[in-house]
Amino acid sequence: MAAGYRFEVHVADVDETPQPGERADELVVRLARAKASAVAALHTSGHVLGGDTVVVRDGEILGKPNDSAAAGEMLRSLAGREHEVLSGVALIDAATGLDVHGLARSRVAMDLVSPETLADYLAGDEWRGKAGAYAIQGDAGAFMHLQHGELDTVIGLPVKLVRQLFERLGTGEHAS
């Protein structure tokens, strides 16, 4: 990882459904904490990092599309506009249970794209499993542009925030 940390990847089985009335910023932090907690429960030592990312358009949370039709609908709704990307991150010390967490925000603009460009993008698999149906670090980088914030927030792991969480955990500043 760019921050100099090495991780093993463990998939946490967590229901990602928003709770009634839950804001996007609350959702991504809750899910990051739930994912980290689920994996930390399987370990007696080490640090466990959990994360979640959503795209927010006009206050509406755009999660991961189930199929190319849903992906196309999401991308058409983002075309020619700006939207926000939120990444929640949680870090847990598995030995002590200490938990620190935070949120990073970025703004992204999508160009207006032709139906052919959109169809070509959807014909690939890059949109699968991606909040908002795109990966800015991939082919979508041709029509998605960072406006404000950090690119790694959009990619899904805000390195600056991860560093801050490790510092907070090391100083004993935590929240459970």
- Cα–chain-centroid distance for residue 35? 12
Nearest to 2 by CA among 137, 127, 170: 137
The tens digit of pLDDT for each residue in 141-166 reads 999 999 999 999 999 799 999 999 99
Nearest to 98 by CA among 12, 169, 5: 169
- Active site amino acids: 52
The residue to which tokens 């560093």 are assigned: 163
Each as own residue / partner, the long-range contacts of residues 13-21 (CB below 8 Å, 24 or more positions apart, any chain) are 13/38, 14/38, 16/52, 16/63, 18/61
pLDDT at 173 over 70: no
The residue to which tokens 């907690």 are assigned: 37
**Do residues 131 and 85 make contact, with C-beta atoms less than 8 angstroms apart?**
yes
Q: Quick one: average pLDDT of 29-34?
A: 97
pTM of the model: 0.89
The tens digit of pLDDT for each residue in 79-130 reads 999 999 999 999 999 999 999 999 999 999 999 999 999 999 999 999 999 9
pLDDT band at residue 45 under the 50/70/90 scheme: very high
Q: What is the pLDDT of residue 11?
A: 85
Q: What is the pLDDT of residue 80?
A: 97
Q: What is the pLDDT of residue 1?
A: 47
The two structure tokens encoding residue 108: 């992204």
Q: Do β-strands 82-93 and 60-62 pair in parallel, antiparallel, or remain unpaired?
A: unpaired
The residue to which tokens 């406006």 are assigned: 147
Nearest to 91 by CA among 42, 29, 44: 29
CATH topology of domain 24-171: Maf protein (3.90.950)
- Cα within 13 Å of Cα(76), Cβ side: 11
Domains of the chain, by residue range, sit at: 24-171
d(CA 90, CA 142): 31
